[in-house]
Amino acid sequence: MLCSMTLHGHDEGCPAVHARHDALNRFLGSVERRALRMAELATRSRDDALDIVQDSMIALAERYADRPEAEWTPLFYRILQTRIASWHRQHNRRHRFLPLLGDLFSRDDDEGGELADIVAADIASPEQQLAAEQMGQRIESVLRALPLRQQQVFLLRHWEQLDVSTTARIMKCSEGSVKTHLHRAMQRLREALGEELLP
């Protein structure tokens, strides 16, 4: 894990605090890799992505460790999105993206969205491998062109598998805006990939 969190202002000798600390570290460990990919996609900088994710983890631990565990996911991703948006404002750059699409859409255990199924499809021949690589390049090209909010909504909905309501809270916008951003992102992907590849 990027860092081991401590619960500030609590008696660290208390068994309940230890249990809470362990639960928080398990949660952060479960989201760390995907959060890092998301930040690296947005910044195209491994070092900046590491800083953003670690800062987000520390903020969650310091501010929201006492919240119910069910609230940690939307709270963490809201913090992460705020840090990413702040990075973009400070650097005055509209898009930064992870070069390797296959890594972006790789699965952790059984997690992943619909595009993970496409990108991770079984490759049985050199021809299929070439077709998959070409598809990956087309997807990456579309993602490069997406506005940041469309990109992040798409990742939260199809990669993180978060529902519309949770995504809206994370992005600090209305559910209607989430649907609009996602619709536009999917429209761009359909145009690039063909209607037969996306529902």
What is the arithmetic mean of pLDDT over 152-162? Answer: 85
What is the reported pTM? 0.59
Nearest CA-CA partner of 68 in 15, 20, 13: 20
Pick 2 or 158 by higher pLDDT: 158
> Which pLDDT score is estimated for 125?
57
pLDDT tens digit string along 82-118? 999 888 877 754 333 333 344 444 444 433 344 444 4
Sign of CA dihedral 141, 147, 152, 158: negative
Sign of CA dihedral 53, 111, 195, 175: negative
Pick 185 or 122 by higher pLDDT: 185
**What does the alpha-carbon distance between residue 193 and residue 43 come to, in Å, rounded to a whole number?**
25
**What does the alpha-carbon distance between residue 166 and residue 145 come to, in Å, rounded to a whole number?**
25
